[in-house]
Homo-oligomer: A and B are copies of this chain.
Amino acid sequence: MSEQVKIAIDAMGGENSPGKILEGINISLKSNKDNFFYLFGDKNLLENELSKYAKIKNYCEIIHAENKILDDESPLTAAKKGNNSSMWKTVESQKNKISDISLSAGNTGALLVVSRLILNCIEGIDKPALAGLWPNNNNMSIVLDLGANIEYNEKNLTDFCSMGSALYKSLFNNPKPKVAILNVGLEENKGNDILKRTYSLLKKKGIKNFDFRGFIEGTQMMSGDIDVIVTDGFTGNIALKTAEGTANFITKNLKNSLNKISILFSYNSLKKFKQKLDPRKYNGAILLGLQGPVVKSHGSTDSLGFAHSIELCHKIVAANLIKKIKADLISIDH
């Protein structure tokens, strides 16, 4: 039996919260009872919601938070609300060793800022990065940074390689992930100066913690040949949202093209197809580089998507991700 993982949840963040959060916990407990949840938010509201789920009461503790951070608030406004918000208290409980990991479906920008204000960076890391799960022909890859940083340098990119590799090891039990950097071509002279310097640094270092495969292009992101795909936060965010837009466009067109008879005859196979690509399975972006792990659930996901992000939290803590990151960091002499 594995040790109980203590998950702090910002129960007020995201659409349909706290309803979907409690339902998500309920779903997660069906397959995994080794979690305990600290729920931060409006006590009355949460107690009322919790009363609907007799079975999960023993796995939850409610901690009152006066405020909540809204989705359209700027990170600065959110941070100014200070330690009264459910998000702040969630991450703070981790700093105070009450919980092992923080989970929020709330405002992403605010979560990045609040987490950085409360949790220090791992020694040697200048910039945390947001890592996400990405479907591929074999299973899943990890892509980072998905938008925590707009500005970056070669030190940041090498850190992202190490941190992404540690995350992949934690989630997929693979001792030497294949890591590549997203670029506009495969050759080492492609891309901007930062990318070229990162490539030459990593080649020169003779990395042992992961298998550095050089550059890959956008077309290969889903091939399944690479486990960890590293890029800056601007490019990663554009790639992620372009992939989402493309997937929506294609499935919408497909739906419009199919007539009722063919939908009827393809029902089961289309259902299988939909299940395989269900974005809820990939729900949960992980903020890497801080002294504690923070997971961001998609704001608009439902209870099943939220249950997936709970499972992600469990795996991260059980695999001791932060320790793995610290062990795998590469020192770069500038």
Mark interface residues in A268-290 (1 if CB within 8 Å of B CB, else 0): 01101100110000000000000
- Mask of A222-261 contacts with B, CB within 8 angstroms, 1/0: 1100000001011101111111111111111110011101
For the complex, what is the distance from the CA of A247 to the CA of B219, rounded to whole Å? Answer: 9
Whether A257 contacts B269 by the Cβ 8 Å rule is yes
Q: Say yes or no: is A48 at the interface (Cβ < 8 Å to chain B).
A: no
Measured between alpha carbons, how far is A127 from B270 in the docked complex, in Å?
Answer: 46
Whether A254 and B254, one on each chain, are in contact in the complex, defined by CB atoms closer than 8 angstroms, is yes
Q: Would you call A192 an interface residue if the criterion is a C-beta within 8 Å of the partner chain's C-beta atoms?
A: yes
What's the nearest-Cβ distance from chain B to residue A119, in Å? 23
Interface size class of A (residues with CB under 8 A): 35 or more
User: From residue A94, how far is it (CB to closest CB) to chain B in Å?
Assistant: 27
Residue A7, interface by CB 8 Å: no
Counting CB contacts under 8 A, is A174 at the interface? Answer: no
- A147 interfacial by beta-carbon distance below 8 Å: yes
- Contact A218:B234 (CB < 8 A) given known A137-B249, A247-B250, A253-B273: no
Give the complex CA separation of A184 and B258 in angstroms: 34
29 contacts between A and B (CB under 8 A): A136-B249, A137-B252, A150-B192, A151-B192, A184-B233, A184-B238, A184-B241, A217-B241, A218-B237, A218-B243, A218-B245, A219-B241, A219-B242, A219-B244, A221-B242, A221-B246, A222-B249, A238-B239, A239-B242, A243-B245, A246-B246, A246-B247, A250-B277, A253-B276, A254-B273, A257-B272, A258-B273, A262-B266, A266-B266
Residues of A within 8 A of B (CB): 135-137, 147, 150-151, 182, 184, 191-192, 217-223, 231, 233-235, 237-254, 257-259, 261-262, 265-266, 269-270, 272-273, 276-277
